[in-house]
């Protein structure tokens, strides 16, 4: 087969025409600035890919190769290359328009739903996912909501034919909404103790203790809600505890010890920096909540949400960034810019990149194959015209998911081109 060398302009049209039809066996991306995701940078780097797996990561200037060895060679001089960004704890793929009830599929009725699985509800045809993917978010931990135990999340790609095709890791963990120790009336800045907190906590702990006791038996009549938790207790899945307050986090850490939970994760963690020592000792990672938020307490510094990644990094607590909150599905496209904000408030550029790539994959449990540009890992990565952590620079020029080319355009960019052509400059 005759070797093909494409310029970036030709590549855009090429990817659009061959999307979903053909995977090239040997691809070489050369001369880009490679941010590996593990803290290293290769200012002029080459990445070799064979059958969807990275087989080469070297300095281009020190690498001599035969052009005939590669099916496709893409010169990325002046571009930045990143591992695919990961959006943890997101309803992306489970909702399209939040205001339209028929398009929301992230919540089931009931209080304790550990058996509910988000994987099979994932919508690969989502128009919202298109706009997120072109900002470099190539993997999504699609996550259910509602109740005290919401259900099981799954790792999905942001480009797929159906949910089976898009699954990276099915049912990676179960999400627990820990009751809040405080209440606040709408419009009232003053928080008050939740008088029913102890009762709510006791009910949840009783359910988990009963589920653990049931998981040690082989009774076929064990209720589905209990058996669904068995893999969390034996360490095959994560326990994701959603909590922001110090009281919540301390109670969760006590429960982790009591139940001998092997892979707990705090989701939210607004006040996690106040108990960073305990988190570090127990090796409990944190999926930090949306940085672009107001302080949660009247006497908090105005920039506390921006500084949380740096505070945890300084304390030695493993963390990643996530985007839970209002309109979180469409706002997942802003994940790179959350990392950019963390960079402005203490993290280095490579630490900020790690917080949405390798650290997220380590916490979720997929870092063996994803999260960094290293030999042996899956080629899920993208190139950007500028820094992907800045709005102006984040312009995808090449996207690969598991070694397959994915379009770098979406319906919004197509509309832009359409009306630009009609009305000129």
CATH number at 20 reads 2.30.40.10
In this structure, the answer to whether residues 218 and 260 fall within a common structural domain is yes
In this structure, the answer to whether residues 125 and 213 fall within a common structural domain is yes
Domain assignment of residue 204, yes or no: yes
Range of the domain at 390: 4-83+379-423
In this structure, the answer to whether residues 257 and 394 fall within a common structural domain is no
In this structure, the answer to whether residues 36 and 149 fall within a common structural domain is no
Strands 192-193 and 182-183, by their bridges, are antiparallel
Q: What is the CATH number of the domain that holds 303?
A: 3.20.20.140
In this structure, the answer to whether residues 143 and 67 fall within a common structural domain is no
What are the 10-residue block averages of pLDDT along the chain, 425 residues in total? 41 44 78 96 95 94 84 95 97 88 85 94 94 96 95 96 94 96 74 90 95 80 87 93 97 95 96 97 97 90 96 97 92 96 97 98 97 97 96 95 94 90 82
In this structure, the answer to whether residues 384 and 255 fall within a common structural domain is no
Total tally of structural domains belonging to the chain: 2
In this structure, the answer to whether residues 206 and 346 fall within a common structural domain is yes
In this structure, the answer to whether residues 15 and 61 fall within a common structural domain is yes
Which residue, among 180, 150, 153, 148, has the nearest Cα to 167 in the 3D structure?
153
pLDDT for the residue numbered 102: 79
* Phi and psi torsions of 307, nearest 5°: -90, -10
pLDDT for the residue numbered 210: 92
H/E element holding 16?
helix 8-18
pLDDT for the residue numbered 187: 63
Give Cβ neighbours of residue 418 (< 8 Å, ≥ 6 apart).
none
Domain assignment of residue 66, yes or no: yes
pLDDT for the residue numbered 215: 79
- Per the CB < 8 A criterion, the answer to whether 137 and 86 are in contact is yes
In this structure, the answer to whether residues 276 and 289 fall within a common structural domain is yes
Domain assignment of residue 372, yes or no: no
pLDDT for the residue numbered 23: 58
In this structure, the answer to whether residues 350 and 383 fall within a common structural domain is no
In this structure, the answer to whether residues 323 and 226 fall within a common structural domain is yes
Final residue of a structural domain among 340, 364, 388: 364
Cα–Cα–Cα angle for 249, 179, 304, nearest 5°?
A: 50
pLDDT for the residue numbered 7: 44
pLDDT for the residue numbered 188: 66
In this structure, the answer to whether residues 78 and 97 fall within a common structural domain is no
Angstrom distance (rounded) from CA 369 to CA 385: 26
Angstrom distance (rounded) from CA 252 to CA 256: 6
């Amino acid at each position: 087969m005759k070797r093909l060398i494409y310029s970036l302009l030709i590549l855009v049209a090429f990817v659009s025409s061959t999307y979903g039809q053909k995977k090239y066996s040997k691809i070489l991306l050369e001369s880009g600035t490679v941010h590996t995701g593990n803290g290293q940078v290769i200012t002029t780097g080459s990445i070799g890919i064979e059958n969807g797996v990275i087989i080469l990561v070297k300095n281009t200037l020190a690498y001599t190769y035969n052009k005939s060895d590669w099916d496709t060679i893409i010169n990325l001089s002046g571009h930045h290359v990143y591992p695919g960004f990961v959006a943890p704890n997101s309803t992306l793929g489970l909702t399209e328009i939040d205001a339209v009830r028929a398009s929301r599929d992230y919540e089931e009725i009931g209080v304790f739903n550990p058996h509910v699985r988000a994987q099979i509800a994932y919508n690969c045809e989502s128009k919202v996912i298109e706009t997120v993917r072109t900002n470099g978010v190539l993997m999504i931990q699609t996550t259910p909501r509602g109740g005290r135990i919401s259900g099981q999340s799954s790792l999905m790609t942001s480009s797929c034919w159906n949910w089976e095709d898009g699954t990276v890791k099915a049912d990676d963990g179960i999400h627990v909404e820990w009751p809040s120790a405080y209440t606040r009336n709408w419009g009232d800045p003053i928080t008050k103790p939740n008088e029913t907190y102890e009762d709510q906590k006791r009910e949840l702990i009783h359910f988990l203790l009963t589920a653990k006791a049931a998981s040690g038996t082989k009774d076929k009549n064990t209720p589905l809600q209990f058996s669904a938790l068995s893999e969390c207790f034996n360490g095959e899945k994560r326990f994701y505890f959603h909590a922001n307050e110090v009281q919540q986090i301390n109670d969760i850490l006590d429960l982790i010890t009591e139940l001998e939970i092997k892979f707990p994760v705090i989701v939210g963690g607004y006040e996690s920096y106040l108990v960073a020592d305990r988190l570090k000792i127990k090796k409990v990672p944190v999926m930090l909540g949306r940085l672009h938020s107001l302080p949660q307490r009247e006497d908090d510094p105005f920039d506390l949400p921006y500084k949380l990644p740096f505070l945890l990094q300084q304390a030695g607590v493993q963390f990643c960034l996530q985007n839970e909150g209002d309109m979180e599905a469409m706002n997942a496209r802003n994940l790179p810019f959350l990392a950019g904000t963390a960079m402005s408030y203490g993290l280095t550029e490579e630490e900020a990149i790690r917080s949405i790539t390798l650290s997220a994959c380590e916490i979720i449990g997929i870092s063996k194959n994803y999260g960094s540009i290293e030999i042996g890992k899956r080629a899920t990565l993208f190139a950007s015209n500028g820094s992907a952590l800045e709005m102006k620079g984040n312009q995808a020029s090449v996207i690969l998911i598991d070694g397959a080319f994915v379009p770098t355009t979406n319906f919004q960019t197509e509309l832009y081109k359409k009306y630009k052509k009609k009305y000129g400059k």
